[in-house]
Amino acid sequence: MMIVKLVAFIFAIVAFAFFAGFNLDNKTDIWFFFKTFHDVPVFMNSLISFVFGAFCSLLFMLLVRFKKNDSSSANKKNLKTIEKKSESAETKTSSKSKKLGKDGREGIIAKIRDLNSKEDS
């Protein structure tokens, strides 16, 4: 797999070299907001556009990753509050099951009733 990547990279470099070599005579003017650059080779325009696009893509990816991390930390906080609520509900059901008896069957029935009442609300 590494050899395929190496061959693809070499092919891309050679293709870029041919593109640059055949376009050395093609020149253009480039206006960059407040300054105009005269007689710039066309391949330089393409290269700069590609680098700028890669930079913008990298920034976008980083922003999305940071946004995911922020939302995952918020999800963790929500999960902690849900766990606290479930712990308090478990203590309530355990106190009810103690009242009903410790043979198991009555405690299980009480837990099922509590779960059904939670789903209804």
* CB atoms near residue 39 (< 10 Å): 8
Q: Which two tokens stand for residue 67?
A: 């946004």
Task: Report pLDDT for 44.
Answer: 85
Buried b (16+ CB within 10 A) or exposed e, 51-84: eeeeeeeeeeeeeeeeeeeeeeeeeeeeeeeeee
Instruction: Please determine, for residue 2, whether its predicted confidence score (pLDDT) is greater than 80.
Output: yes
Local confidence band at 110 (pLDDT 50, 70, 90 cut-offs): confident
3-state secondary structure of 73: helix
Q: How many CA atoms lie within 13 A of 39 on its CB side?
A: 1
Task: Report pLDDT for 57.
Answer: 92
Report pLDDT digits (tens) over 54-63.
999 999 888 8
Buried b (16+ CB within 10 A) or exposed e, 21-32: eeeeeeeeeeee
pTM for this prediction: 0.45
Q: Which two tokens stand for residue 89?
A: 């509900």
Instruction: Please determine, for residue 73, whether its predicted confidence score (pLDDT) is greater than 60.
Output: yes
Average pLDDT rounded to a whole number, residues 17-41: 87
Report pLDDT digits (tens) over 74-98.
666 666 676 666 666 566 555 555 5
